[in-house]
Amino acid sequence: MRLRKLNRVLHRDLGYIFFGMTIIYALSGIALNHRHDWNPSYIITQEEFVTDIEIGPEQPDKDYALKMLEDLGIDANYRTHLLAGDNFRIFVEGGSVNINISEGRGNLEIIRKRPLFNQINYLHYNTPRKLWTWFSDLYAASLIIIAITGLFIIRGRNGITGRGAWLTTLGIIIPIAFLFFYL
């Protein structure tokens, strides 16, 4: 098989094989780049409320916490609770209820997994380990091969000996410039 044909076949087939991984890492990468604007893995909702429910001098127990959830109209599965000074906190499945006893103010915080992004971030963070790490390493090596073989797909004035050389040089200079700017 000629070298040019092997180059095209390798570039094409690796591109097809790793199409899904490229989409996963691209979407997850964009989401993680903007994690200061939003939580890419979870949707966190908070709802504030005021209550006149009072806690007596005795330490509240599970039954008291369940009654409080019922009185507040919160339909969530109880996990546990704690009292620290004026702050009474009830942990429920997927969140918590926080009440300042002296002020009667509180808030309900519910945490849900963000559809799609939670799962792709799980993969991007390399959480599954072992076999996934090997597959991710293979993907990274294949990206290097795809990048190199891509340089030689087109011939002539639009290829690597013409316009492609200028664009490749620009693609190398931009990240180096950012490194110098931020370091």
132-145 tens-digit pLDDT: 989 999 999 999 99
Q: Which position has the token pair 């691209």?
A: 26
Long-range contacts of 67-71, Cβ-Cβ distance < 8 Å, separation of 24 or more: 68/97, 68/99, 69/97
Q: What is the pLDDT of residue 165?
A: 94
Q: What is the model's pLDDT at position 57?
A: 62
Among candidate residues 47, 105, 68, 104, the one with its CA nearest the CA of residue 78: 68
- One pLDDT digit (tens) per residue for the chain, 183 residues: 699 999 999 999 999 999 999 999 999 999 989 999 999 999 999 999 888 776 666 777 888 888 888 888 888 889 999 988 888 899 999 999 998 888 888 899 999 999 999 999 998 888 888 899 899 999 999 999 999 999 999 999 999 999 999 999 999 999 999 999 998
Residue ranges of domains in the chain: 3-36+116-182, 42-113
Beta-carbon contacts of 66 under 8 Å, excluding residues fewer than 6 positions away, are 78
In this prediction, residue 19 carries a pLDDT of 96
pLDDT for 39 equals 92
Whole-number Å distance between alpha carbons of 34 and 166: 31
In angstroms, the CA 76 to CA 24 distance is 33
Interacting residues of 60 by C-beta distance below 8 A, sequence separation 6+ = 68, 81, 83, 88
In whole angstroms, what is the distance from residue 151 CA to residue 166 CA? 12
Question: Does pTM surpass 0.85?
Answer: no
